[in-house]
């Protein structure tokens, strides 16, 4: 049995992450599941009721037993690393509140795993995607809508959720726009002329009234456009173009970052444009560029074979 004091501590930690740390709701839900999963294991492992004092008695042996049990039930190294991060965060917070040494937990290393690299489109493929999406709809305004959304992803590096959350009060798009991203973090994103023009063209054709608090992008019945519809449009286009399944709306954002980096863009500036909290997230694009260079080397260098 997990005592109410421990459950209350978990809830207070999550509330603090939301109010002060600005964590997104999905992130908080994942943290809660991970920590509750750990506490469930701990209860079975110790065979007694768990309270806040139980966290102060954690040992490296217990932590390793938990990690081994998680791997045995099929949890991937990536997911276990995420769960361990959540547990460390909660234990460190509890240690500061209750005055115990969290070292046995914090010193545990996360399992190694190969991070998935972003899979951007080549420049010509990204342009072909925009051209194909424009031609595949029978309705001019729907075609203009889909092009406008994808141009915001590729031209401004927006997430699909960020593009679809734009309201009519944001019109007309100027040289920049203010975006509320993950965790409620705000950033200013430059608007390239081609993106502003694509949105303006869509607005001129849209058959629905665009009131100030209403979303700009609409479905065929007038409701807010869903991400699923954008994904479907891209799925049709990539089938026509023979592109892989990785050619998704998010790949257009990856393409924005990768193509900027290839053109000599500054990594810190790209981090700001994407709204990444950590530079290490943005640095994944340097790995993409390195992988591309190695492919070129292996294919062309006379000593590579």
Catalytic residues: 159, 182, 250, 253, 276, 285
> Cα angle vertex 255, ends 251, 260, to 5°?
155
Over the Cα atoms of the chain, what is R_g?
Answer: 24
The token duo for 170 is 């944001």
Which residue bears the tokens 């492992």? Answer: 45
| Helix or strand (DSSP H, E) at 110 | none
For residues 156 and 149, the answer to whether their CB atoms sit within 8 Å is no
Contact 252, 160 (CB under 8 A): no
The token duo for 109 is 């290393």
- Inter-residue contact 66 to 21 (CB < 8 Å): no
Distances (CA, A) of 84 to 34, 80, 200: 8, 6, 47
């Amino acid at each position: 049995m997990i005592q109410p004091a421990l459950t209350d501590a978990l809830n207070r930690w999550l509330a603090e992450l939301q109010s002060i740390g600005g964590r997104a709701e999905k992130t908080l839900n994942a943290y809660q599941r991970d920590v509750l999963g750990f506490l469930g294991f701990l209860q079975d492992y110790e065979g007694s009721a768990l309270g806040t004092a139980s966290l102060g008695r954690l040992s490296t042996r217990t932590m390793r037993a938990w990690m081994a049990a998680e791997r045995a039930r099929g949890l991937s190294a990536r997911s276990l690393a995420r769960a361990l991060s959540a547990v460390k965060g909660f234990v460190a917070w509890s240690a500061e509140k209750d005055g115990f040494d969290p070292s046995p937990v914090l010193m545990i290393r996360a399992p190694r795993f190969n991070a998935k690299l972003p899979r951007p489109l080549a420049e010509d493929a990204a342009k072909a995607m925009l051209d194909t999406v424009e031609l595949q709809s029978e309705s001019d305004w729907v075609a203009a809508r889909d092009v406008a959304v994808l141009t915001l992803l590729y031209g401004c590096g927006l997430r699909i959720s960020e593009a679809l959350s734009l309201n009519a009060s944001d019109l007309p798009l100027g040289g920049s726009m203010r975006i509320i991203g993950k965790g409620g973090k705000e950033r200013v994103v430059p608007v390239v002329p081609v993106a502003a023009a694509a949105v303006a063209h869509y607005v001129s054709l849209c058959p629905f009234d665009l009131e100030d608090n209403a979303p700009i992008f609409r479905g065929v019945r007038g409701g807010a456009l869903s991400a699923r519809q954008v994904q479907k449009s891209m799925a049709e286009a990539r089938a026509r173009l023979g592109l892989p399944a990785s050619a998704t709306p998010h790949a257009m954002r990856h393409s924005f970052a990768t193509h900027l980096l290839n053109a000599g863009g500054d990594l810190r500036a790209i981090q700001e444009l994407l709204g990444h909290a950590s530079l290490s997230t943005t640095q994944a694009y340097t790995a993409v560029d390195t992988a591309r260079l190695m492919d070129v080397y292996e294919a062309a260098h006379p000593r590579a074979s």
